[in-house]
Structure 1
């Protein structure tokens, strides 16, 4: 199997002197771009390999999971959009498992599209203090952004280990 169709994307360093909204958005966008760059160049076979013993995590599975968390936190819970639930019924917060038709390129494209939807949700909210509109949700936009920064950064650590185990690639 040849190199995947996933190409690295340009990253802009997070803003170091900005208002709160711009600082949070720039940090999350930096991490989102890093996710794509961490998997760029992997083959589909590499991206679906369990490269760290005792762990079922794969690079492709992590991208799939991050796509679901973007949808869940921003579109479904914060904006109350009536869109498809991102995870299977038997694993309501997982989606690390790959289906036979998942390719790295399709998963990265879905991730980038979901990040774009999330950006639009965030941009449409007048204030970081705006409360989530989803049923029984009590968090504000500030919390959603900081949670997604934490979620994405944590899984980038996993991607670091998986990628290094697969082909020795390290770095940002």
Structure 2
């Protein structure tokens, strides 16, 4: 990706994709990531430097990437909960028995 030409690419690249296409892309990315992690851990450990270089020239460890991934998922799952709560009106993890979403 040429970030100089498309500096906001990550925010607009999927604008025309269907939800089904996005879910397929995500599923494929998860599958590749899991396979890559299994390969790395079979050869070494999570302290190994990743085959990725940041813009400032550093390479994080695989452990650092995993921690960042967990943190990012946790952040967005929290956002999804807030959206869901505003839509269906319930709070918490599980609905009470007999719960029905409020009518809109």
TM-score category, normalised to shorter length: 0.5 to 0.7
Structure 1: where are the runs of 5+ without partners? Answer: 1-84
The structure with higher relative contact order (CA 8 Å, sep 6+) is 1
Q: CA deviation at 1:97?
A: 7.4
Instruction: Please say if residues 46 and 61 of structure 2, whose CA atoms lie closer than 8 Å, have aligned partners that are also in contact.
Output: yes
Between the two proteins, the alignment pairs up a number of residues equal to: 85
1:166 to 84, 87, 92: 87
SS for the counterpart of 1:134 is coil
Cα shift readout 1:87-124 (whole Å, capped 9, x = no counterpart): 992315x4377513x22222122111101111111111
SS for the counterpart of 2:70 is helix
Counterpart of 1:106 in structure 2 is 21
Moved over 6 A (4+): none
Matches within 5 A, 1:11-160: 85=1, 89-91=6-8, 94-95=10-11, 98-100=14-16, 102-125=17-40, 126-135=44-53, 136-160=57-81
Q: CA deviation at 1:127?
A: 1.0
Q: Structure 1 length normalisation: TM-score?
A: 0.42
Q: How far apart, in 1, do the equivalents of 2:48 and 2:14 lie?
A: 35
Q: Which protein shows a greater Rg?
A: 2
Distance 1:115 1:140, change over 3 A: same
Structure 2: where are the runs of 5+ without partners? Answer: 95-104
Cα shift readout 1:54-100 (whole Å, capped 9, x = no counterpart): xxxxxxxxxxxxxxxxxxxxxxxxxxxxxxx5x992315x4377513
Calculate the aligned-residue CA RMSD, in Å: 2.8
Distance 1:164 1:119, change over 3 A: same
